[in-house]
């Protein structure tokens, strides 16, 4: 059996988990509400502050979905209680970030600025300190959406392997390459 799928999800106080029609799970907490549709083959039970997932067979498809849905619901419970936060760092001379509401204005070394609209479910903040790289902070209760938006922002200028210039996650370790060697 799936080791992850077998573990029950603990529901913290202040969080309610309900299984609706068509196997749609709704998680409500102090920070908001999230919904997730679950495959009809996976059975979900909510018993005394835990959520238990069961699969009908040992088919590869069922085993894969067993652990997947358990992880998704666990992330939803964590999201509505604590929330998720990711920070992006702009490394490069002249790279800047500013935001007005949910519009992110990025200057990434192109001939033009990039205006990136952040979904309304996310909170965005930018920080620019003298002598340090600009930081973009994104917060949300939805881990999937947060990761997707961060990946999209990072794809606008991926870190290059020689100098490390580009958009990277704070704390991300980049594999660096040696430059070309001098002549003979």
Assess whether pLDDT exceeds 90 at residue 134: yes
Of the pLDDT bands very low, low, confident and very high (cuts 50, 70, 90), residue 180 is confident
Let me know whether 91 and 40 are in one domain. Answer: no
96 contact partners, CB below 8 Å, separation of at least 6: 90, 106, 107, 128, 134
Q: Which of 66, 81, 96 is the last residue of a domain?
A: 81
Pair 76, 12 in one domain: yes
80-112 pLDDT, tens digit per residue, is 999 999 999 999 999 999 999 999 999 999 999
Look at residue 182 and tell me whether its pLDDT is greater than 80.
no
126 falls within a domain: yes
Residue with tokens 């794809």: 155
Is 32 within the bounds of a domain? yes
| CATH number for the domain harbouring residue 152 | 3.90.930.12
What would the mean pLDDT of 128-150 be, rounded to a whole number?
A: 94
pTM above 0.75, yes or no: yes
110 and 50 housed in the same domain = no
Tokens representing 116 are 């990136």
Confidence of residue 184 (pLDDT cuts 50, 70, 90): low
Tell which of 81, 98, 126 closes a domain: 81
Q: How many domains does the chain have?
A: 2
Copy the structure tokens of residue 158.
């991926």
Query: What average pLDDT does this structure show over 131-138?
Result: 94
Share of the chain above pLDDT 70, in %: 98
Distance CA 75, CA 17 (A): 13
The model's confidence at residue 2, banded by pLDDT at 50, 70 and 90, is low
Q: Distance between CA atoms of 179 and 63, rounded to whole angstroms?
A: 46
Cα distance between residue 80 and residue 37, in whole Å: 17
In whole angstroms, what is the distance from residue 168 CA to residue 152 CA?
Answer: 11
Residue 92 lies in a domain: yes
My answer on whether 131 and 158 are in the same domain is: yes
Across the range 14-25, mean pLDDT stands at 90
* Contact assessment for residue 71 and residue 37, using Cβ atoms and an 8 Å cutoff: no
What is the average pLDDT value for the chain, to the nearest integer?
91
Range of the domain at 66: 3-81
What is the predicted pLDDT for the residue at 1?
46
Could you report the per-residue pLDDT of 30-69, keeping only the tens digit for each? Answer: 999 999 999 989 999 999 889 999 999 989 999 889 999 9
Q: Is residue 181 part of a domain?
A: no
Q: Is 72 part of any domain?
A: yes
146 within some domain: yes
Q: Which pLDDT band holds residue 179 (cuts at 50, 70, 90)?
A: confident
183: in domain: no
Residues in the chain, overall count: 184
Same domain for 109 and 132, yes or no, is yes
Residue the block writes with tokens 């370790």: 173
> Of 52, 81, 110, which one is at a domain's C-terminal end?
81
- Same domain, yes or no: 159 and 92: yes
Q: According to the model, what pLDDT value does residue 183 have?
A: 66
Strands 123-127, 135-140: parallel, antiparallel or unpaired by DSSP?
Answer: antiparallel
The pLDDT of residue 168 is 94
3 state SS for the chain: CCHHHHCCEECCCCCEEEECHHHEEEEEECCEEEEEECCCCCEEEEECCEEEEECCCCCHHHHHHHHHHHHHHHHHHHHHHCCEEEEEEEECCCCEEEEECCEEEEECCCCCCEEEECCCCCEEEEECCCCCCCEEEEEECCHHHHHHHHHHHHHCCCCCCCCCCEEEECCCCCCCCCCCCCCC
Residues 89, 151: one domain? yes
């Amino acid at each position: 059996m799936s080791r992850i799928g077998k573990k029950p999800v603990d529901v913290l106080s202040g969080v309610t988990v309900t299984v609706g029609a068509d196997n749609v799970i709704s998680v409500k907490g102090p920070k908001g509400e999230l919904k997730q549709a679950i495959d009809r083959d996976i059975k979900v039970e909510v018993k005394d502050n835990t959520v238990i997932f069961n699969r009908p067979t040992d088919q590869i498809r069922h085993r894969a979905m067993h652990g997947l849905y358990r992880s998704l619901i666990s992330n939803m419970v964590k999201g509505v209680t604590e929330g998720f936060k990711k920070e992006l760092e702009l490394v490069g001379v002249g790279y800047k970030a500013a935001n007005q509401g949910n519009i992110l204005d990025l200057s990434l070394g192109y001939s033009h600025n990039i205006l990136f609209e952040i979904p309304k479910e996310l909170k965005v903040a930018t920080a620019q300190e003298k002598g340090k790289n600009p930081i973009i902070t994104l917060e949300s209760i939805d881990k999937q959406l947060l990761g997707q938006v961060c990946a999209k922002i990072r794809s606008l200028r991926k870190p290059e392997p020689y100098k490390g210039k580009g958009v990277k996650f704070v704390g991300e370790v980049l594999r660096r390459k040696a430059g070309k060697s001098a002549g003979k």
